[in-house]
Every structure is written in structure tokens, then in C-alpha cells.
Amino acid sequence: MYLDEKLYENATFEKENFSEKQIDSTEFYGCNFSGCNFAGNDITNCKFIDCNFSGCDLSMCNLQETQLSDAVFVDSKLMGIKFDRCNKFVFSIHITNCILDYSSFAQMKIPKTPFLKCSMKGVDFSKTMLEGAIFDGCDLTEAIFDESNLKAADFSTARNYIIDPRENYIKKAKFSRDGLWGLLTNLGIRIVD
């Protein structure tokens, strides 16, 4: 099943099941998606500009060459998404209280991106430019930071991260005292109370 139009402006979609609809080369401007299911869909060459997603499931979507610009995700599932396949031109997202487990931002430039109270288990940030990014209250269990630029990134309320300072650029990054073990684990240093 195809969407009827190729351009939607300021439209509201509630509890739509997009996983059964063909969504390619479709543009959405200022649209709101609430409780919608996109899980496993092939969403290629689309544009989501100034769109809001609330309580949506986009898990395992293929976003090949899809543009996300000022896209806001709240209370949504974004598991297993290869964001690194998105159109990188003006890519910008704001994510709050979402599940991003096993997604990938590898080799992307996403400075100052706010990740607020998210589950980010196993997320791949290899060679990602995250300068000034915020990881507020995020669970970063098994997240991959390898040759990443974390300059001035804020990890002060993040937990369960392991970041090797020899393999990542962390100048002026913020870490809590309780989170220091995540910086020292790969150095073979034991921390005792």
C-alpha cells in the first residue's frame, strides 16, 4: 500500500500503521506522528523536516538517504536503526526518553546533539564527531566509542559507558566522579573505595 501523496505539510498522523505502507521519496514538513508504527519499513529518499514523533516505533527501519532535519523523537523506539545511512546534509535530531539500542551513528557529524534519558545499549559511535553532545541520564552499556570526537561532550549524568581516553578525543568532556571507572577500565587501573 502506498501513501496517497508525495508531499505532506503540517499534517497529523495518529496511530497509523506505516509498516504496511510504501514510503519512498515522500516529503514531510512540520508533521506530527503520534503512536505510529513504522517498524521494519523501508523509508528511502524521504525528508522529515521539523517533524515530531511521539510514542512511535521506528525499530529496524531502513532510512537509506532519508533526511532528518530538526526531527524530534519522544518516548519512541528507534532500535537497530542505521542512522549513518541517512542523508547527512543538515542531519539534526533531538531525542528524549527513547530506546536506541543497537543503532549506529558511525562516522557521522552530530555535534551538540541532545540525547536525554535514553537507552543506548550497544550504539555504535565509531569515528563519530560528537563535540558538545549531551548524554543526560542515558544508559550507554556496551556503546562503542572508537576514534570518536567527544570534545566538550557531557557525560556527567550518563551511566555504564566505557570510553578509552587513548582512543578518543575527550578534551573538556564532562564526567561525574562516579563515572570515572568508565574511563579507567581499559587502562587496567583498579578503583577502590
Strand partners, 7: 27
**Which pLDDT does position 1 carry in this prediction?**
39
Among candidate residues 78, 150, 85, the one with its CA nearest the CA of residue 118: 78
Q: Are residues 183 and 105 in the same domain?
A: yes
Q: What is the pLDDT, as a whole number, of residue 192?
A: 67
pLDDT in tens, the chain (193 residues): 346 788 999 999 999 999 888 888 999 999 999 999 999 999 999 999 999 999 999 999 999 999 999 999 999 999 999 999 999 989 999 999 999 999 999 999 999 999 999 999 999 999 999 999 999 999 999 999 999 999 999 999 999 999 999 999 999 999 998 877 788 777 776 666 6
Angle at 28 between CA 39 and CA 81, to 5 degrees: 30
pLDDT of residue 110: 97
Number of helices (H), then strands (E), belonging to the chain: the values are 1, 14
Q: In terms of domains, do 57 and 129 share one?
A: no
Residue 157 in domain: yes
Residue type, 9: E
35 & 110 share domain: no
In this prediction the pTM is: 0.92
Residue 184 belongs to what domain range? Answer: 100-188
> Do residues 36 and 107 share a domain?
no
Q: Where residue 65 sits, what CATH number does that domain have?
A: 2.160.20.80
**Same domain, yes or no, for 106 and 69?**
no
Number of domains in the chain: 2
